[in-house]
Amino acid sequence: MKMRKINLFVIQLFFLFVFNISAQSTDQPKLVVGIVVDQMRFTDLYRYQQFFSDNGFKKLISNGSNFVNAHYNYIPTNTGPGHASIYTGTTPYFHGIINNDFYDRLTKRFVNCVQDDEMQTIGSNGDEGKKSPKNLFATTITDALKLFTNQKSKVISISIKDRGAILPAGHLADGVFWYNTKNGEFISSSYYLNDLPQWVKEFNKKNIAEKFLSSDWNLLLDAKAYEINSPDESEFEPDFFNEGKKSFPHSFKNLKQEEKFEKLSFTPFVHDMLIELAKSAIINEQLGKNSVPDFLAISFSSTDLIGHMWGNYSYELMDTYLRLDRQIGELINFLDKEIGKGNYLLFLTSDHGAIETPGYLKKNKIPTGEIGTSKVSDSLKAFAKRKFGSESLIENYSSGSIYFNRAFIEQNNLDYKKVEEEFSIYLRNTFPEIQKIGRRSFLENQSPSRENSDLILNGWNPIKSADILFTLRPGYLYRFMERGTTHGSSYTYDTHIPLIFYGWKIPKQTVNDKVYIIDIAPTISTLLKITQPNSSFGIALIK
């Protein structure tokens, strides 16, 4: 009788233990997957929807929380600031990534937002890996997860672009890998690792890029499906592959050997490589098998490269989205099998949108044009000499950002605010293309906010940014482009992007309320029940 009581007690303990383990396992997802599709406009989700499969974008839209009015709330809307804002939950005002490249007052040169000359390339002999997150002032959601779990969570970040991998990874990632355009392999930085993991070495040995270069880029579907776009042989597209034509199919045969791997990144095939690398990371790093959540960040970059080159109504970009739809479907199926349905949390968004091809807009009488970088720079220097005695007052000008020579101002006993005011008046009276002007003396006394209508303020950084910034009228560019497309403005074609949450405890819903890119990180933090990134001022969209 006594033995039966002991056995019953043991059985009760066993079931209590199993119940607790089960409860713990559902209290947090096993894996978070962050997907950024570079330059994806919100409308891209629906423009090609009839041609999507049931397993990719459609599955996310139908079974997730789809926020159809998600926007960026700062400028410039570019890749570096975009990735940083997604993962920090804040804007450049705090995280410091003010552009892809920016003028550094200390070195008096332009620097890549992830450049770090003190680092070494891991996986190659070149300088492509001299990168780190040193310019990122704020913590990311991936940092927050690592800190909360006392570094027990694993964070892996992969991309075609270096900044697309580094900025989501934050400061504490376990592995960060991106595509090397010199040899078609994936590399890293000594900031993270002393050597590539064996699984990345094995992946590189497969020479997948070489295999893609030996085949042609053909349309995925019948050519008739693509007729919703501009003509395939268009005056607004280049002969990028040196074929003597601009239309499909595309071949790599006429390219020089030294340019082949870089030009391969302007095709959807490198996304196939990224999917395979993601699978390998999940298996070999045992992501989702931990006692705490792990994080996999993936940034698909070729949509941006292809958009810049051929434009957002091109056969090339449509084909890339059709293939990306299937590639994401393949990833979802893999996650369902490897991690388990309902055990992972996934979000999909974009780092910025894009304007329609400016040359096409101009031909069709849509207001567009350029202000001209050289014209503005020469004009500013001439005004500085005429008004203040020397061109040296202008230390640097680029894309709407004017940096004054502060030493010159001090040495000549000039009133800084008076200098600002004179240049602001001059700009307003000289360049009708200018929409809005921001001045340091005003901006440094303001605070950014989630719903701030002053996108200059939200994107300005007190330490790194210029003394005067200006934006342009809708449709206008700092440098005009007859072909392809670009981005960076405060207008909806650049700010309106997709945002979908899917998977673990995510309700099926379509939300029309206006939300912002800085809401992603606090949403993930809230769902994981962890601390938010240190400078986040977004809100949780799902609780």
Residues noted as catalytic: 79
Sorted by sequence, the CB contacts under 8 Å of residue 390 that are 6+ apart come out as 384, 408
Q: Of 345, 342, 352, 231, whose CA–CA distance to 301 is shortest?
A: 352
Query: How far does Cα 406 stand from its chain's mean position?
Result: 33
ω into 249 cis (within 30 of 0): yes
User: Per-residue b/e over 213-235, b at no fewer than 16 CB within 10 Å?
Assistant: beeebebbeeeebbeebbebebe
Q: Give CA–CA dist 30/261, Å, rounded.
A: 35
**239 contacts 323 by C-beta, under 8 angstroms:** no
Sorted by sequence, the CB contacts under 8 Å of residue 232 that are 6+ apart come out as 223, 226, 246, 247, 248, 314, 315
Sorted by sequence, the CB contacts under 8 Å of residue 175 that are 6+ apart come out as 155, 156, 157, 188, 192, 193, 197, 200, 281, 285
Q: Give CA–CA dist 229/531, Å, rounded.
A: 45
Residue 368 structure tokens? 């567009």
Sorted by sequence, the CB contacts under 8 Å of residue 121 that are 6+ apart come out as 127, 128, 129, 130, 187, 188, 189, 190
Sorted by sequence, the CB contacts under 8 Å of residue 49 that are 6+ apart come out as 57, 58
Within 10 Å of residue 336's Cβ, how many Cβ atoms? Answer: 15
H/E element holding 349? strand 344-349
Q: 295 to each of 348, 493, 509, how far by Cα in Å?
A: 14, 30, 24
Strands 496-497 and 476-477, sheet pairing: unpaired
Residue 114 structure tokens? 């992830």
**159 contacts 274 by C-beta, under 8 angstroms:** yes
Strands 294-300 and 155-159, sheet pairing: parallel
Q: Give φ, ψ of 483 to 5 degrees.
A: -115, 160
Q: 189 to each of 135, 369, 530, how far by Cα in Å?
A: 15, 40, 28
Q: Of 218, 479, 418, 212, whose CA–CA distance to 323 is shortest?
A: 218
Q: Give CA–CA dist 355/491, Å, rounded.
A: 9
Residue carrying the six token digits 């780092």: 351
